[in-house]
Amino acid sequence: MSGDHFFGFDVATTVYKRVNGHGIALGLLTPKNMQPGKHPLMIRYHGGFLVTGATLFPGFFARWILQYALKYSAIIVSPDYRLLPESNGLDIMDDLSDLWKWVHRDLNSFVSEVREGIEVDLERILLVGESAGGYLTVQLGLSQESSTIKAIISTSPSLDLRTPHYSTNPPPTLFGFPTLPPMDNYLALMKAGEIVTSADPPTRMPLAISIVQQGKLLDLLGTESRLYPMDQLERINKFPPLFITHGENDSAVPMQGSVNFVEKLKKVLPESQIVLYVHPGVDHGFDRTAEASDQWLQEGLNMITEAWLG
């Protein structure tokens, strides 16, 4: 973890859940200059193809997200979750649900231990995630009926998973990676019951790339309908305001998936508040060095701020 990356925050970690004795961690970021009182919450999920990544890995934690939180004196909770292929999609969904319960049951007591006089406003929750984390924030928004999820920011998310990109016609290259060997040996050597919940890239990145290139991601995720956001849209009657950003030339997570999701959401819930910004000519992860003041972010952030903070 890079202290410089989170220089405006005090950083703490804890375990929000245990599975077979394995603790699943989260990072807590509280702005150093925040005043005593009640503050809004940002729950941020990291990316990494659901295979790699970690709560406070700085390479995936976009600078503009941190700046946005500091601007509004927001507390950030960034959880780990069980990773593929040792676990499956339903395991990850259970972790999302248990994190949500922990936030409402235990977060304020943990915050009071690390920052005296600070309270989390659980009526003002913003979900944020990039790539696979963007998928998870939308999944959490689709599964939670609570009105305390005020808005969602989803960057380069995997939302239309039944497209050929993820199975029958996987990409030969992903942001410059050549075709990698199949991960069969890795799967054969996995121990029964093994759990992995964090990895700082490049650890496990070749495994993640190989899984996608071999068209195996959905096999490992699972076939249950509730794992697929496009299916979930058919069963909802409300959804929080949503800001999606996506690179036009995304080689890892095709931009068309975000377009398809937004089109279907508008059909299901015509009154939905949605901003979809497609950034021309860029690949996956284009926003990691962006600034919160960048012009292309303003329409979406203005909508999110109004919905989140009023």
* Residues 215-224: tens digit of each pLDDT: 999 999 999 9
Q: What is the DSSP string of 94-160?
A: HHHHHHHHHHHHHHHHHHHHHSTTEEEEEEEEEEEEETHHHHHHHHHHHH---TTEEEEEEES----
Residue 67 — very low, low, confident or very high, per pLDDT cuts 50/70/90? very high
- Per-residue model confidence (pLDDT) at position 182: 86
- For residue 53, report the phi and psi dihedrals to the nearest 5 degrees: 105, 165
How many CB atoms neighbour CB 230 within 10 A? 17
**Cα distance between residue 185 and residue 206, in whole Å:** 13
Q: Let me know: does 18 contact 24? Beta carbons within 8 Å.
A: yes
Q: What is the percent of the chain where pLDDT is above 90? A: 86
Name the residues annotated as catalytic.
Answer: 131
For 244-253, the pLDDT digits (tens) are 999 999 999 9
pLDDT, the chain, mean? 94
Report which secondary-structure segment, H or E, holds 3. Answer: none
pLDDT at site 2 = 55
To which H or E segment does residue 261 belong? Answer: helix 256-268
What pLDDT does residue 175 have? 77
